[in-house]
Structure 1
Amino acid sequence: MDSTKEKEVVYEIPTFIKIYRDGSIERLRDTPIVPPCPEDPKTGVSSKDVIISVKPSISARIFIPKLKNENQKLPILVYYRGGAYFFESAFSNHHYRYLNHIVSEANIIAVAIEYRNAPEHFLPAGLNDCWVGLQWVALHSMKSPPSIDPWLGRHGNFEKVFIGGDSGGGNVVHNIVMRAGLEGLPGGVRLYGAYMNHPYFWGSKPYGREPVDGFEDAYASVVWNFVYPSSPGGLDNPMLNPMGDGAPSLARLGCVKMLISVAGKDFLYLRDRAVLYYESIKQSGWKGEVELFEEEEEEHCYHMNFPDSDAAHRLINRVIQFLRN
């Protein structure tokens, strides 16, 4: 075979992923992976990587700020990165920068879960990984957990456990907080708060400003069919459309408070469905507190793509405030 010939693409989501006939996969949006650091020179935050599970392969990066004393207890954030279940990593440079900043300013421990991506592992594999990761964190609240990380075991405040995520990670957050409400967590741990920035929700019929023409070819439609080809209910699966018919009641959300942020010019058309989600929570009978934060003139995940912008600072500071209270 002529090695100079271009490899044949058998499937692609333009600008995001290409799958070649030889089985290789090219993820065009992945950002560079960076190692953990014993002490970040800018924030003083320390980080390390841990293995949660070997089969399946689940790992995490843990971040901890400078401690005032050996007995200090800190709130915990379990973070789920974006990437629509098929690209990106918890170990990427922009997640490293983002979490160093949040951990330093909010004075918390963060655990970024590295879950498996499609198409190597179709959903619900990645979501199950995220649940296992949260369970692993909760186990540290018990006197004799089967495995213990000293940062979590010595310094974690299990009365203040948060989960959070961006874009596809926001979808993870919804599904995990619902599961926590339905099943509970080891050691009786209860989630205190959950935040989601620009969450990925969708459905089988256009809503709000979502495109009518070419709806089935819209990014959100294509991605779901790609990452979960056997999805019961298709685009109306409750994991993707929590406001659809037959979805579990949002009154069962398993946390005390929530923060949902949206971008007014979200180029993936995710804004209106997230606002509907916010309004549906308020009408569900859920007993917690929910807040909506919007930047009307910004695009999807502007705070990750342009972290030094004024708008990014406003959103990230709102997340920090949410984690402090």
Structure 2
Amino acid sequence: MASQSNNYPDNFTSPSSIASTDKEVARELLPLLRVYTDGSVERLLGSPVVPPSSPDPETGVFSKDITISTNPNISARIYRPNFSQSKYDPNYHDNENGQKLPILVYLHGGGFCIESAFSFLDHRYLNRIVSESRTLAISVEYRLAPESPLPAAYEDCWTALRWVAAHSGALEQVLGREPWLISHGDFGRLYIGGDSAGGNIAHNVALRAATESLPCGVKLRGVFLSHPFFWGSKPIGSEPKEGFENSLERLVWEFVYPSVPGGINDPTINPVSGIGAPSLAGLACSRMLVCVAGKDRLRERGVWYYEAVKESGWKGEAELFEVEEEDHAFHIFNIDSQNANNMIKRLASFLV
């Protein structure tokens, strides 16, 4: 949620620099977006959409865009490492060791209302993650609020995870069978993870997987939550008490999920003490990594969540990774820094 200095391409024009319109504003969520009376939405923050790479010149990672569902429309960008520096062929189906790769279903951040799986920042980030971890990654383009308020993003990401898992069995019922998943995916090493809002979604999907089975008996091996977007009605720890009721985090939540029964204390946003929150012992994975940043306004919630998971009776292995001197999503915005490099290496070491 915090502002950052962004390393965009030379030809990047920030959405906020676009000339203002004469259209009438119906409502706005500053500094993120405006909604006009004609129903159009102007997103004021976010990085530009970029095409997939074949391969990425910096990492050698291949990517392409795929369709997961047509009702609703859910797409994704899939990434695979370069198996051989001499084989720049995106249709090459044998890796150098004949081994299968871990699978990561990745969920981008952006407060449920901005950014994209196809954006410059996320494309650059996924190239680094895939190159470092040598995983097969599927970055999900879920629907955004306000055009599609929550729970649309939760449903889309659950559908995407099921679609990926379905590739482990008979493929007759799989829309748009994906050769990279069939040829390279190790469904015994299936992970889901995300940053900020994507971390929130990853948590909620992991809870859902405890009560609704994935296709073909596939199980989640691990979940990572980087700077997860959790909040509540009362401050905890070092969170500032002044102005808390009108915090941007609360305003974002009420904007993107106006129909949620529990409001800011619904367990989807407040998984520790939310109204009717299910036990965290039910998380359907055996490994979890929670990443926080010392200067991030969401830091206290991430630590609180990690400690609650540890104390819940959950049978898996949970780890906390903190970079004290950094702010929210620094490893995406400032990806060339040493701290970002260290964090990406930590995420990569988790995906085994």
Interval containing the TM-score (normalised by the shorter chain): over 0.9
Find the counterpart in structure 2 of residue 229 from structure 1.
Answer: 258
The reply on whether 1:312 has 2:312 as its aligned counterpart is: no
SS of 2:269's equivalent?
Answer: coil
Matched, 1:321 2:337: no
Compute the displacement of 1:145 (Å): 4.3
CA displacement 1:52-108 (0-9 Å, x = unmatched): 111111001000112363543111000000011111100001111111111112111
Deviation (angstroms), 1:186: 0.4
Tell me the amino acid that sits aligned with residue 291 of structure 2.
Answer: S
Of the three residues 16, 30, 44, the one matched with 1:28 is 44
Task: Give yes or no for contact 1:250–1:280 (8 Å, CA) kept in 2.
Answer: yes
Task: Please state how far the C-alpha of 1:212 moved relative to its aligned partner.
Answer: 1.9
- Give the drift of 1:160: 0.2
Aligned to 2:83: 67
Instruction: Give the alignment partner of residue 219 of structure 1, picking from 224, 228, 248.
Output: 248
**Are 1:264 and 2:264 an aligned pair?**
no
> Separation in 2 of the partners of 1:299 and 1:145?
46
Residues 24 and 5 (structure 1 numbering): CA distance in 2 closer, same or farther, change over 3 Å? closer
Q: 1:5 to 1:92 in 2, by over 3 A?
A: closer
User: In the alignment, which residue of structure 2 is the partner of 1:138?
Assistant: 165
Correspondence 1:102 to 2:129: yes
Unaligned runs of 5+ in 1: none
Is the contact between residue 139 and residue 145 of structure 1 (CA under 8 Å) also seen in structure 2? no
Mean CA deviation greater in 20-29 or 44-53? 20-29
CA deviation profile, 1:177-198 (whole Å, cap 9, x unmatched): 1111221210111011111110
The 5-angstrom pairing of residues 243-322 of structure 1 reads: 243-244=272-273, 245-266=275-296, 269-322=297-350
Give how far 1:135 is off.
Answer: 0.3
Aligned to 2:119: 92
SS for the counterpart of 2:149 is coil
Residue aligning to 2:142: 115
Q: For 1:6 and 1:43, how far apart are their aligned partners in 2?
A: 44
SS in 1 for 2:161: helix
Asked if 1:79 is matched to 2:112, the reply is no
1:161 maps to 190
Deviation at 1:41, TM superposition (A): 1.8
CA-atom RMSD in angstroms? 1.4
Identity of aligned residues (%): 54
Amino acid at match of 1:47: S
Native 8 Å contact 1:235 1:241 kept in 2: yes
Cα deviation for residue 323 of structure 1 reads: 1.0
* Cα separation, 2, equivalents of 1:162 and 1:139: 14
The size of the alignment, in residue pairs, is 319
TM-score (norm 2): 0.88
The equivalent of 1:201 in structure 2 is: 230
* Higher RCO (C-alpha under 8 Å, 6+ residues apart): 2
Tell me the distance in 2 between the aligned counterparts of 1:153 and 1:5.
48
Taking structure 1 as the reference length, what is the TM-score of the superposition?
0.95
